[in-house]
Amino acid sequence: MKQRKKHFFNTFFIIFFNIIAIILLLYIHRTIEVSNIIFQQFNANDGTYSIEISKAQNFFDFIDSSFECIATNGEEEIRNFSINNSCLLTLPIHQDYEIYLQNHNLYSKKYRLLDYLDNLLTFSFNYSTIYLVIGEESPIEFSAQFIYPEEIDYHFTSSDESIAITDNNKIKALKAGTTMISSPLTEKKLKVIVTDLITLPTYQKQYKQNLPCHRYNQEEANLLDSFLEYRIHKVGDQTRAAAIEAARFLTLSFPYRIPYFYENGRVHESGINYVDGEGRYYKKGLYLNESKFANIQATFSGPAIWGCPLTNWEPDEEFGYYPGVKKPNGLDCSGFVAWVLINAGFDPGDIGAGETEYPYQMTDLGKYTELTFSLIRSNTIKVGDLVNYWGHIGIIIGIDEDSIYIAESLQNFGGVVARKYSKYTINQTFDHVVLMDDFYKKEGIYSNMWN
């Protein structure tokens, strides 16, 4: 009996010491490993992102489960202690980090962060919809933030390559229609509307045909309004650039000439008649469809959209204007410039071209300055400034080495046109310039010429 007990205890101690030996051996050769790396959030304000790192559980966690998370880029280390088997690290973007864990003298292997996280942090197109004309090329404008700025191929594609194609992060418009631009990097899509209702800005010596009455249906008129609004927003609302864009749109891109029509009145109590949309259209957008009548405040002989017959009351027989005779509705000179400024996001007041019986003059908008040749040579004058002679106003839409291009509405040219004047002789036509820096206040994005 004693012999059996002795044998039992000997066996027990052998097994016990073997187990202890195995445990010690395992403890000595224990490892520490990362089980998961999870992206938490991106802070665009300070250019950092946070990640949560979890440790793989093991048998010895009951002894000591604490550890540190370390991110290193070879030059610096960012550390944090664990809580409940995971830890958080906040890291700056544009650094290629490796992650490892440490428990006293025990280290995990290093894990390259980008092998576990999506490099793209945020992506958004700058616009939900863009508008292009046939033949136009435009960069795909977007914002993207990456953990590490590698060479990125966005693989932009067009859903209908007969309408527009993509190449090297650009879009080229081919024919009228709608297509969607997408990238495998994001679920967001860019809507591209291509139209043949307008052209790229083009100066032509041959003046365009007058706008026919009812040329555009409501859908087409709305599209043109959206196109104009998009173009202005792109260069900067309430800027000099916005005024330039609006003036170029109507004179260089719109395929028809808006007729000249003497104002039947003004949307201001100082006027002879309180009238809206008759020689002066004091609204955003183009006056191309009768749906716009809902916004007209007061009429005298109308309403009539641009290009449609409207009774004229101004005697100017030299150019075919007889009181009581119908002429196509359009814009007079100050009506055109007022339309430009309104669509650029300004409220110039319902004002006239110059020295009139009304107390409001468009020459009062800026610094009214004599147009001398020395002033022209000084490069003081900018596109977007106004030019004036008695009873007339226009807006500068282009300046090159030898010429100044003016957008203006003239009865002897049948309406709104773009005209080219030599720098050496322009002051024989216009005697004053209205320098508009103080009016615009902000410049926006523009160039002296449109191409």
89 in Cβ contact with 53 (< 8 Å): yes
Does 300 fall in a domain? yes
Cα-Cα-Cα-Cα torsion 320, 305, 259, 406, nearest 10 degrees, comes to: 150
Residues 44 and 137 grouped into a single domain: no
CATH number where 150 lies: 2.60.40.1080
Does 310 fall in a domain? yes
DSSP state of 267: S
DSSP state of 279: B
Query: In the structure encoding, which two tokens stand for residue 368, read together?
Result: 């009214």
Does 3 fall in a domain? no
Residues 239 and 372 grouped into a single domain: yes
Does 11 fall in a domain? no
Residues 166 and 90 grouped into a single domain: no
Residues 265 and 328 grouped into a single domain: yes
72: helix, coil or strand?
strand
pLDDT at 416: 97
pLDDT at 161: 97
- Give CA–CA dist 14/30, Å, rounded: 23
Does 207 fall in a domain? no
For residue 303, whether the previous peptide bond is cis, meaning omega lies within 30 degrees of 0, is: yes
Does 305 fall in a domain? yes
Query: In the structure encoding, which two tokens stand for residue 31, read together?
Result: 């490892």
Measured over the CA atoms of residue 406, residue 407, residue 409 and residue 415, the dihedral's sign is positive
Pairing of strands 106-107, 98-103: antiparallel
Place of tokens 């297509």: 179
pLDDT at 198: 95
Given 76, 98, 115, the domain boundary residue is 115
Pairing of strands 120-125, 137-139: unpaired
Residues 265 and 395 grouped into a single domain: yes
Residues 46 and 167 grouped into a single domain: no
Residues 350 and 421 grouped into a single domain: yes
Does 205 fall in a domain? no
pLDDT at 29: 44
Given 195, 227, 255, the domain boundary residue is 195
Residue 422 has φ and ψ, to the nearest 5°, of: -70, 140
Domain that includes residue 69, residue range: 34-115
Residues 62 and 156 grouped into a single domain: no
Q: What is the pLDDT along the chain (451 residues), one digit of tens a residue?
A: 656 656 566 666 666 665 665 545 444 445 678 888 999 999 989 999 999 999 887 655 555 678 899 999 888 899 999 888 899 999 999 888 999 998 888 888 999 988 888 888 999 999 999 999 999 999 999 999 998 887 788 999 999 999 999 999 999 999 999 999 999 988 999 999 999 999 999 997 778 899 999 999 999 999 999 999 999 999 999 999 999 999 999 999 999 999 999 999 887 766 567 888 999 898 999 999 999 999 998 899 999 999 999 999 999 988 889 999 999 999 999 999 999 999 999 988 876 655 445 445 688 899 999 999 999 989 899 999 999 998 899 999 999 999 999 999 999 999 999 999 999 999 999 999 999 999 999 999 999 999 7
On the CB side of 160, CA atoms within 13 Å amount to: 15
Residues 130 and 111 grouped into a single domain: no
CATH number where 96 lies: 2.60.40.10
Residues 128 and 108 grouped into a single domain: no
- This prediction's pTM: 0.83
Residues 357 and 419 grouped into a single domain: yes
Element (H, E) at 376: helix 373-377
Residues 309 and 417 grouped into a single domain: yes
- Give CA–CA dist 80/71, Å, rounded: 9
Given 144, 161, 195, the domain boundary residue is 195
State the total domains in the chain: 3
Element (H, E) at 25: helix 2-28
94 in Cβ contact with 86 (< 8 Å): no
Describe the strand order of the beta sheet including 34-43 as a list of residue ranges.
34-43, 48-55, 86-92
Place of tokens 């795909």: 140
**Partner residues linked to 399 by β-bridges:** 404
Neighbour tally for 322: CB within 10 Å: 13
Does 384 fall in a domain? yes
